[in-house]
Amino acid sequence: MFSLTFSTARAWSGRGLQSRQFQRFSSRFNSADFAFAFDIDGVLLRGSKAFDEAKKALQFLENNKVPWILLTNGGGKTEAKRVSDLSSSLGLDISTSQFIQSHTPFRRLADTYTKILVVGGDGDTCRSVAESYGFADCAMSIDVIAADPHTWPFHRYTPDALANLARPLSASKFDAVLVFNDPRDWGCEVQVVTDVLTSRDGVLGTKTDDLVQTMPIYFSNNDLLWANEHKFARFGQGAFRSSLEKVFEDYTARKLRSVIIGKPFIFTYEYAHKVLDEFRASRYGYAGHVKRVYMVGDNPASDIRGGNDYGWHSILVRTGVYKDGDVIPQGSVPKAIVENVYEAVMHAVENEAASRH
């Protein structure tokens, strides 16, 4: 009987599988029983460049009709824009229905809050994302600075940006602060966010007498680190959150109260599993709840911890944040550690094939 070992997988990583080999291998497992959720940065891509193994892995799944989604703590652009960029990089047609970035679940908040402060991202791209989600009134720090530059005199906004990206502030009060992506000017954002959170009834330019927090703040992910072209992992949104919390506590003598979504939090995995079920039903006609999901990630603290907590089968790759010798905290230990995403897929399908015998 045909069998695929890890040594065989490595040998095949340099060339495509022939259709007959696909058919013989797929007879060993039932593709209706399992699916994949892939992190992106450090798993499929490094920076904007796709790993060769990522293209091979995804093509293998496409050929075998195995459902998969992308589950990333990245963000800052609309889902359509991210999917377009990823499709180009990976050489596959990816659907927005199989793509979840860290702030995608913010859609559910559009009926709860009217005016929000949108934090993070390049230019006003995150404001565009928020508006696409249905938020009625979206302000940004650049609007606040344009109205009163003394709010943060050290801001880095250019005259061109202030003239073309800033909008007049409406008179309505703020209802919430939503951090969509990593801020580009931490000092400015910390100041403006703190001003909004401690304003009286959400009205900017006012201050509560006791500096009490008057509205919620949501963070779209909690990643302290993420992988890009630099040889060492870089600080992410989780580092900004830590900085804001420290400043807020020093200023108000109170702890910041916040809601954090994204990986590893259960809310995001529940949302992702529902999206995966809907995608596999529409693409392949598989009804019901997928039995096993393989979470393939590079960050033990987010990808692996969240997968473990939700009951998914976690696989850690060595192409991103994690490096051999790193201490993996309890609860973040994966089911397997492999070289790259192609070997992760091979591990999973071998596991599926073995479960049938």
What is the residue-averaged pLDDT of the chain? 91
pLDDT for the residue numbered 77: 92
CATH fold of 31-102+268-355 reads Rossmann fold (3.40.50)
Task: Tell me the pLDDT tens digit for each residue of 76-114.
Answer: 999 999 999 999 999 999 999 999 999 999 999 999 999
What are the residues whose beta carbons fall under 8 Å from the beta carbon of 100, sequence distance 6 or more? 69, 70, 71, 72, 268, 271, 272, 275
Angle at 85 between CA 94 and CA 345, to 5 degrees: 50
Strand partners, 34: 292
Per-residue confidence band for 27, with pLDDT thresholds at 50, 70 and 90: low
Locate CATH 3.40.50.1000 in the chain.
31-102+268-355, 105-260
Cβ atoms 100, 70 nearer than 8 A: yes
Cβ atoms 134, 178 nearer than 8 A: no
Per-residue confidence band for 354, with pLDDT thresholds at 50, 70 and 90: confident
Taking the CB of residue 89, how many other CB atoms lie within 10 A of it? 19
Quick one: CATH architecture of 105-260?
3-Layer(aba) Sandwich (3.40)
Cα dihedral: 334, 339, 343, 345 (round 10): 40
Task: Tell me the pLDDT tens digit for each residue of 28-46.
Answer: 677 788 999 999 999 999 9
Task: Tell me the pLDDT tens digit for each residue of 298-335.
Answer: 999 999 999 999 999 999 999 999 999 999 999 999 99
Cα dihedral: 153, 238, 340, 294 (round 10): -140
